[in-house]
Structure 1
Amino acid sequence: MNLPIAPPLAPMLAKPVKSLPPQDGTLFYEPKWDGFRCIVFRDGDEVYLGSRNERPFTRYFPELVEAVRAELPDRVVVDGEIVVRGGQILDFEALQQRIHPAASRVKLLAEETPASFVAFDLLALGEESLMEAPFATRRARLEEIFGSAGHAAGHAVRLTPVTTSEERAAEWFDTFEGAGLDGIVVKPGGLPYQPDKRVMTKVKHERTADAVVAGYRWHKSGPVVGSLLLGLYDSEGALHHVGVAASFPMKRRAELVEELAPYVSQDGHPWSAESLPGAISKWSATKDLSFVPLRSELVVEVAYDHMEGRRFRHTAQFRRWRPDRTPRSCTYEQLERPLSYDLDDILAG
């Protein structure tokens, strides 16, 4: 490739904050897309889809390679997000399935669950690098590529909406979650592009739920607790694995081994390592996902951002033990469900 910026390139990142930063006359607010971060490099027929860890996505998304050739300028570098739609919402689980080692499977999934690319930053165009240009300039140049329709020559490569209104951003934060988006990203208008630096901010949803602690996994560094396995009961009384809680200090991890020892289950546990979601990991095939089963007697309150199907989308955060709650009261019914929202309405700007 002969571009002003060469791959691989680590994307610019955002640091989490608790509330939406107030408008100071310089800020741009964007919806936070829930997909795979990707920097697209195109030099004529050559296309490279760079991931956040700087390894290429190119072979996994052949339909996006063709879309980039058809819909973006001949020589361009664009930052954005790869997403998969499930009707009018984002489907992150289907997106995860797209990372597969078999070429035949990649081809089939490209047809069955085609991906889209949502662009939100322009890093180079033709011979010109825009890395040092302020974000406000980069956004204006990006809009020139996409035009008023919010998409380029086709519909697989789209432009994310943006607003300078704090009130509009707050409305997006509440409503766009119903389409599978998970918050707001805030960018100062004067910000140059700074790879691998957390210089933007992001606000994500946070809710709490009471869950059953049904097991734990060992930490990679030794015989201390790595993560607690969480469960919720459905309406039929079945206990479903919904995610994990982690991020404990090392001293606390060691204490938990002793505290949880009286609850270790010898038989009759409803789960097995093979039955849990994530038992086969495409990203870390050698990772040990076995666990220590516990009797379903302990309840914990955790914070989470949102659900992906029947599971927590990201790692939940431990808040406190709940000895006042019975395990059977930990059901899906307690979870807050966002109102539905149409992805096409978001992409229409």
Structure 2
Amino acid sequence: MTLPVTPPVAPMLAKSVPTIPPGASYEPKWDGFRSILFKDGDEVELGSRNEKPMTRYFPELVQAALTELPDRCVVDGEIIVASQQGLDFEALQQRIHPADSRVRMLSKATPASFVAFDLLALGDDDLTGRPFAERRATLEHALSGVGPSFHVTPATQDQELAQSWFTEFEGAGLDGVVAKPLTGTYQPDKRVMFKIKHQRTADCVVAGYRTHKTNNEAIGSLMLGLYNDGGTLVSVGVIGAFPMARRVGLYAELQPLVTQFEGHPWNWAAHMAGERTPRKGEGSRWNAGKDLSFVPLRPERVVEVRYEHMEGERFRHTAQFNRWRPDRTPESCTYEQLEQPLTFKLSDIVPGLGAPSGA
């Protein structure tokens, strides 16, 4: 490639802030795979957050880029899988597969889209040293009318509108708002933008643990559950960010609660196909080769955790420890306590995104 900005490039990053700052350009925060796309004629490469190429995993985007994008450009954005129900991150994760035949099959079964939000180069022009306001205007002009695979993210300088996006767009699977300084240049691998993400708490039952990979007498992660309407304790995620001394202490504290699988809510033998409870030997959503076997505990302790949002009946990201709740009974830890975001369609955010096939 003979572009003015050549791969690999580490994407510009954002740091978390509690509230939406004034005087910036605001965008929805898309929940997918960050990618910088490089196109030079008939050559297309998809970079990733860690600068490794993802080109082979998304052949449909490579093909679409040849017809939908300017002849020579470098575009920063997010690879997503959109459905009528919103963003489908689980389907997106499944796209990273070693078998080319499966990659090809999934490219047709769950095709990806690319949401563009910055332009690093166009033709022979390196835009990284120009202010964001100028880059944004150039992006809108260069990608005007693109689709159906490539889209330009909405943006506004209206802080009040951005606040409404923060509330409403979560119902379509988006996880917050990004604020970008209007005069800022593009700074790879620097946290010069701002992200505002949803933070909530939930009281969960601790129903098991896994030991730490370096110490069999230290906690690696605690397994969390919530009771559904039918009274079943459903596995919703884990917490695991503890100092090593606390991991060792927790291991000793939890030993009196260790029990057998027989009679445990997550008994392997009683597991029914299709339930979202962990199974012995089942692969992790984040690591397909990881064994999810665990040490069962009597579901008696309650912990308050911080989480961002749900994906189905599970926490979308790893939850964070807040505090123990000895004042709460396990039976009170139900899905009813969780805040339900408004329902919102992706097509109302970006026209054509997540619309039914053929619409």
* Aligned counterparts, 1:15-30, within 5 A: 15-21=15-21, 23-24=22-23, 27-30=24-27
Instruction: Say if 2:225 is the partner of 1:231.
Output: yes
Letter aligned with residue 283 of structure 2: I
CA RMSD of the aligned region, Å? 2.0
Match of 2:315 in 1: 312
Once structures 1 and 2 are overlaid, which stretch shifts more, 288-297 or 157-166? 288-297
- 1:157 — aligned with what? 150
CA separation of 1:272 and 1:93: change in aligned 2, threshold 3 A:
farther
Structure 1 match to 2:201: 208
Measured against aligned partners, the alpha-carbon deviations of 1:144-179 in whole angstroms (never above 9, x if no partner) come to 1122xxx41x31100001111110110100101111
| Aligned-residue offset at 1:304 | 0.7
Q: Which residue of 2 aligns with 1:240?
A: 234
Which stretch shifts more, 169-178 or 53-62? 53-62
Paired position in structure 2 for 1:217: 210
Query: Which of 298, 302, 306 is matched with 2:305 structurally?
Result: 302
- Following superposition of structure 1 onto structure 2, how do residues 16-165 of structure 1 map, counting pairs within 5 Å? 16-21=16-21, 23-24=22-23, 27-147=24-144, 151-152=145-146, 154-165=147-158
Spell out, residue by residue over 1:291-314, the C-alpha distance to the aligned partner (whole angstroms, 9 max, x if none).
222111111111111100110001
Are 2:156 and 1:168 aligned?
no
Structure 1 window deviating more from structure 2 (109-118 vs 234-243): it is: 234-243
Q: CA deviation at 1:290?
A: 3.5
- % identity of equivalent residues: 64
- Which 10-residue stretch deviates more, 261-270 or 59-68? 261-270
TM-score by length of 2: 0.90
Corresponding position of 2:245: 251
How far apart are the structure 2 equivalents of 1:345 and 1:37? 22
Question: Unaligned regions of 5+ residues in structure 1, if any?
Answer: none
- 1:226: how far off? 2.1
Q: Secondary structure at the match of 2:81?
A: strand
C-alpha contact (below 8 Å) 2:261/2:267 kept by paired residues: no
* Equivalent in the alignment of 2:355: none
**Does the CA contact (< 8 Å) of 2:283 and 2:291 recur in 1?**
no
**Structure 1 CA distance, aligned partners of 2:278 and 2:194?**
34
* TM-score, scaled to structure 1: 0.92
Unaligned runs of 5+ in 2: 272-276, 353-359
**Offset of residue 341 of structure 1:** 0.8
Change (3 A) 1:129 1:196: same
Structure 1, residues 177-221: CA drift from partner, whole Å, max 9, x if none? Answer: 111100001110111111111111101011111111111222334
Residues 177 and 129 of structure 1: is their aligned pair in 2 closer, same or farther, counting only changes over 3 Å? same
**Is the alpha carbon distance of 1:286 and 1:85 closer, same or farther for their aligned partners in structure 2, counting shifts above 3 Å?**
closer
Equivalent residue runs for 1:310-349 within 5 Å? 310-348=313-351
Paired with 1:75 and 1:220, the residues of 2 have a C-alpha distance of 47
Q: Is the contact between residue 99 and residue 282 of structure 1 (CA under 8 Å) also seen in structure 2?
A: no
Separation in structure 1 between the aligned mates of residue 125 and residue 321 of structure 2, nearest angstrom: 47
Question: Do the aligned residues in 1 keep the contact of 2:12 with 2:192 (CA within 8 Å)?
Answer: yes
